[in-house]
A and B are shown apart, each in its own frame.
Chain A
Amino acid sequence: MASPILNPGQAPEPLLYEQSVPGRVGYALPPLDVPASDPISLLPGVPLRDSVPLPEAGELQVVRHFVRMSHRNHAIDVGFYPLGSCTMKYNPQITEEVVRLPGIADCHPYQPEEQVQGEMALLHALERLLCEVGGMDFATLQPAAGAAGEFTGLLIIRAYHIHQGESRRDTVIVPDSSHGTNPATAARCGFKTVSIPSNERGRVDLAALRKVVNDRTAAIMLTNPNTLGLFEQEIREIAEIVHEAGGLLYMDGANMNAILGITRPGDMGFDVMHYNLHKTMSTPHGGGGPGCGPVAVKAFLEPYLPTPVVARDGDQYRWDHHRPQSIGKVHGFYGNFGIAARAYAYMRTQGGEGLRNVSEKAVLNANYLAAQLSDAFTFPHGTRCMHEFVLSADRQKANGVSALDVAKRLMDFGFYPPTIYFPLIVKECMMIEPTETETRETLDDFGAAMLQIAREAETEPEIPQAAPHYTPVGRLDETTAARNPVLAYNCCA
């Protein structure tokens, strides 16, 4: 019996394999007008299979399948996406227009320098813009993304210390609120990591820092504003302590969206930093790339930058490969040009005033939203924040509704759930970053949903506990997926 579907978006979508009908095809070939040959005789020595288990379907079936699947994606183009630490802002369409210009889309990395002077001018100009925003002196656009930028930055720091005859410096300091990639990068580069606790204000504890710095300190890795959305006001003191011990300061640029045009890592005392262009400068997020995580350094570290660098002689640009102290290459050619072009388009369309406005609005939006939630949720470090804030659902948890339940329930309202259970130092935490591109109405809608969920936690906890109620699938069995991952569809099972 047929059953009516209330919302077609909720209907189960069978796999293409499950829709497959033997012999059904989406093409029609003309009759063979050459003698037929046996493939085995054409491909001697090549092992051939009798059949390939691929689904068989018509073109319309395939189109409908993928269009229906695409309707189930959440994206910034569909709705609010307040994923803390990830800066899921809207990327203006102009950046996609720009990268489709023939001079940008149709160039090739093997073209000789004289044919790509314009592209090289763009790369050089983007480096200058990033250095201006970061208060740094030189930059490379090679690293493929943020984590690759961290890797590049720490290799530069290691090369510097070795060159100074201080190869004993084998320790990198990270705060306990740091991004997980920071200690992972340090370990990958052969450093030991030392974690220092945050103080009761959610900032680096200076006394703890003083205790761990010594002649083994290679660097401290910090994010400013930090992962709690708080500005490290004592950054000058931190820089002094680390520099006096002979270590360098590495800035994770993940949270640059809070400080554009307002303050600069280079002025705070950082020696090396990376930028997450997909967060701050409007390039595409995730999906496995391509990406771009530029690294910028102070002048004394310039010799160690990856090779080649874009050199400018008057109006001419060339690849400078003669870099005897360089750490080497970290990407093919000069990184992902199309991503750099998008970031350049974004920075130029915003301009200096526009970039400052980005950060002012990002911080204003976060504070506006935090204020709406301040009575219903716990704010362990207060409600004054930079571009994001961390709240705790500990009061809801007392009624059996965890941060996970709140996040799941938000999906019923059409919102992407915020980051949860990170940073690890706040219990039942939710990390919310609204970004500058959202309207006041969207922020109000999200705030109202959060307050309703807080009321449900008190009166009807079973609603959030069983959420989501209105999505095509509800709570997936993450435990079984992690314990017994099935990574390939077995059509013949």
Chain B
Amino acid sequence: MNHPTELRYSKTHEWVRLAGDRATIGITDFAQHELGDVVYLELPEPGKTFRAEALFGTVESVKAVSDLYTPLSGEVLEVNAALTEDPGRINSSPYDDGWMLVIRISEPAEVANLLDSAAYEAFTAEQ
């Protein structure tokens, strides 16, 4: 499974790509693999603010409905509207076409709580 080293990860299986005060968020290759084919996705509107570990949406696969959690606190700047139209991109391209949100980070210190790729892979191995 593919967990790029330039990303950071949460224990609830979201990835974070950091760029200044912005963070792009999606779900990991491990998560999409566990879920199976994604058939439905619900994402928040831009402008909403979330605390870290808050519920920001749901993803439904042929197997189950799962909650999505923001790894970091912040305000939603952009939402991947194309993804709700074609949620299969979460399976085919979890880190590129499958991005879900861009947020403006409000609590930069929280970044330290995230896992790097090696720690995330060790975490998933225990699961």
Instruction: Give me the interface of A with B, judged by CB distance under 8 Å.
Output: 404, 421, 424, 427, 478-479, 482-483
Collect the chain B residues with CB atoms within 8 Å of residue A482's CB: 37, 39-40, 62
Known: A427-B127, A478-B62, A482-B40. 8 other contacts (CB 8 A): A404-B63, A421-B64, A424-B64, A479-B37, A482-B39, A482-B62, A483-B87, A483-B88
- B interface, over-half SS: loop
Select one of A424, A427, A479 contacting B62, CB under 8 A: A479
Collect the chain B residues with CB atoms within 8 Å of residue A479's CB: 37, 39, 62, 88
Which of A421, A427, A483 is packed against the most chain B CB atoms within 10 Å?
A483
Q: A96 to B48: give the CA distance in the assembly, Å.
A: 56
Taking the nearest CB of chain A, how far is it from the CB of B11, in angstroms? 14
Check A421 against B39 for contact (C-beta < 8 Å): no
Q: A483 to B60: give the CA distance in the assembly, Å.
A: 11
Against A, the Cβ 8 Å flags (1 = close, 0 = not) of B23-40 are: 000000000000001011
Q: A424 to B40: give the CA distance in the assembly, Å.
A: 18
Nearest A residue (CB) for B60: A482
Between A and B, 17 residue pairs with Cβ closer than 8 Å are A404-B63, A421-B63, A421-B64, A424-B64, A427-B127, A478-B62, A479-B37, A479-B39, A479-B62, A479-B88, A482-B37, A482-B39, A482-B40, A482-B62, A483-B39, A483-B87, A483-B88
Q: A289 to B78: give the CA distance in the assembly, Å.
A: 45
Instruction: Give me the interface of B with A, judged by CB distance under 8 Å.
Output: 37, 39-40, 62-64, 87-88, 127
Collect the chain A residues with CB atoms within 8 Å of residue B63's CB: 404, 421
> Nearest 10 A-B pairs (CB), nearest first?
A482-B39, A479-B37, A478-B62, A421-B63, A483-B39, A479-B62, A421-B64, A479-B39, A482-B62, A424-B64
Nearest B residue (CB) for A422: B64
Q: A441 to B62: give the CA distance in the assembly, Å.
A: 34
Collect the chain B residues with CB atoms within 8 Å of residue A483's CB: 39, 87-88
Nearest B residue (CB) for A403: B63
Collect the chain B residues with CB atoms within 8 Å of residue A478's CB: 37, 62
Q: A427 to B127: give the CA distance in the assembly, Å.
A: 9
Q: A270 to B30: give the CA distance in the assembly, Å.
A: 41
Q: A483 to B39: give the CA distance in the assembly, Å.
A: 5
Nearest A residue (CB) for B88: A483
Collect the chain A residues with CB atoms within 8 Å of residue B87's CB: 483
Q: A404 to B36: give the CA distance in the assembly, Å.
A: 11
Q: A421 to B40: give the CA distance in the assembly, Å.
A: 18
Collect the chain A residues with CB atoms within 8 Å of residue B40's CB: 482
Q: A421 to B64: give the CA distance in the assembly, Å.
A: 8
